[in-house]
Amino acid sequence: MRHARSGKKLGRDSAHRKALYSNLAGALIEHGRIKTTVTKAKAVKPIAEQMITLGRRGDLHARRQATAFLRSRDIVHKLFAEVGPRFKDRPGGYSRIIRIGPRPGDAAEMVYLELVDEEYVATQREERTPAPAPAPAVPVEAADEAPETEEEAVEDPEAAAEVDAEPEADDAAEPAAEAAPAEGDEPAADDEPKA
């Protein structure tokens, strides 16, 4: 009988199980969120939270304990430099399990095991996802006209330079043309009353 024996066996021997817990806890600390099965998530959650508690302590002995279990200095450094201080004021419950439904291959119940701190999870998610391409702010009608001018510019670069120069010249000529008749009209108006 298995009375008072805690922990899941997960169909692995003890060395394989310990390596699995180490890898899953390290991945959770590194990425802030992992996708795994319900059973594995329930088994590794207390271990990952214990590692975060060591990160909150921050002393040398805690760092050595975390290194002995996680076996990666990079992950331990991230644990003590970033993750631990973020949970400094939280007295426990650093992670949560969110069910996401069955896996297509074998219908195993899948979950997200993620850290509770929203800011940390959001920053990790931003680092992993590429920036989306900005949507064009041009209306649909104007978008139809724009490729034609670009194609013309690609076909004949000199004509494109002339087309760009002509509107500037027209803009400069219009204020001068408006100013010239106005000046010419004023003296003529002055001349009429004198006569």
Token code pair at residue 169:
């010249």
Q: What is the pLDDT of residue 7?
A: 83
Mean pLDDT across 48-72: 96
Token code pair at residue 6:
């805690």
DSSP annotation of 6: -
Residue 45's nearest CA partner among 67, 21, 65 is 21
Q: What is the pLDDT of residue 127?
A: 80
Whether residue 135 is contained in a domain is answered as no
Question: CA–CA separation, 102 vs 38, rounded Å?
Answer: 10
Torsion, Cα 19 23 26 30, to 10 degrees, reads 160
Indicate whether 121 pLDDT > 60.
yes
What confidence tens digit (pLDDT) does each residue in 80-102 have? 999 999 999 898 999 999 999 99
Question: CA–CA separation, 40 vs 45, rounded Å?
Answer: 8
Question: CA–CA separation, 82 vs 71, rounded Å?
Answer: 18
Q: What is the pLDDT of residue 136?
A: 65
| Same-domain pairing of 119 and 24 | yes
Whether residue 134 is contained in a domain is answered as no
Among residues 128, 159, 183, the one where a domain terminates is 128
pLDDT band at 138 (very low <50, low <70, confident <90, very high): low
Asked whether 136 and 143 are in contact (CB, 8 A), the reply is yes
Among residues 128, 160, 178, the one where a domain terminates is 128
Question: CA–CA separation, 64 vs 189, rounded Å?
Answer: 97
pLDDT band at 128 (very low <50, low <70, confident <90, very high): confident
What confidence tens digit (pLDDT) does each residue in 157-190 have? 565 555 555 555 555 555 555 555 555 555 555 5
| Same-domain pairing of 64 and 109 | yes
| Same-domain pairing of 23 and 114 | yes
**Domain boundaries, position 189:** 140-194
In the chain, how many domains are there?
2
| Same-domain pairing of 53 and 123 | yes
Q: What is the pLDDT of residue 192?
A: 56
